Amino acid sequence: MTDHNRPFSEDERQGLYRAIHERRDVRSQFLPDPIPADVLARLLTAAHHAPSVGFMQPWDFIVIDSIEVRQSVLDIFEEENRKAADNYSGERNTRYKSLKLQGILESPINLCITCDRSRGGSHVLGRNSIVETDLFSTCLAVQNLWLAARAEGIGVGWVSILDQQKLACTLQLPEQVYPLAYLCLGYVSEFLDQPELQAKGWRSRLPLEDLVHGNRWAQPLENMQLKTALKIPE
């Protein structure tokens, strides 16, 4: 039996599930310690091994350690964050402004994962009906990197409060390249027991049993064993 066909051991399976459940969007716990080049290379390799529709591999990785570039990105964030705060009023506005939503300068490395929307040409296998599959595929690269980072003890924070056009200009991206995910990477003082937004009372995790449907939307599951495993009441 080749190594690729070898069943995962119980420890390997548990390690994967642990990374999934203990992954966090990190904003406040970054340490200044640099990420060794071989560790960062492993993370990028993990991202590059994500599945992609038509094997188009639309991602590129911009490794950002320049303080000048990161300060420019932080300026974009701060402008957009002020606009975002205006969406809330009263106590919600106060709570929003108290949240730490980026670690652009605190983390030792920033990483922008982009999507080249022309990668693979005008006719990519499997993309005929859903053109956004290049974006979906790039999201899988983000997830691969995030889980690998957790296994390496490295925190990742996704900075989504950014004007994408200004970010693309700052990073000098070609017209067909979309800056899909701007990430902060670094070792951390701790991984929180629960997502930070949940810990601070912004939102709670939805019950899985409320999100699983049977055959059609809003229809009950007919698979009794799955219902039992999910602890869905009769």
| pLDDT tens per residue across span 134-190 | 999 999 999 999 999 999 999 999 999 999 999 999 999 999 999 999 999 999 999
Position 185 scores a pLDDT of 98
* Chain segment 196-231, per-residue pLDDT in tens: 999 888 999 999 999 999 999 999 999 999 999 998
According to DSSP H, which parts of the chain are helical?
10-22, 37-48, 67-85, 90-98, 133-151, 164-170, 196-199, 224-229
* Short-list 58, 60, 80, CA closest to 165: 80
The CA-to-CA distance between both ends of the chain, in Å, stands at: 44
Write down the pTM of the prediction: 0.94
Top-confidence residue, 1 or 86: 86
| DSSP state letter for 53 | G
What integer is the mean pLDDT of 59-85? 97
Which carries the bigger pLDDT value, residue 3 or residue 135? 135
Domains detected in the chain: 10-203 (3.40.109.10), 204-234 (no CATH)
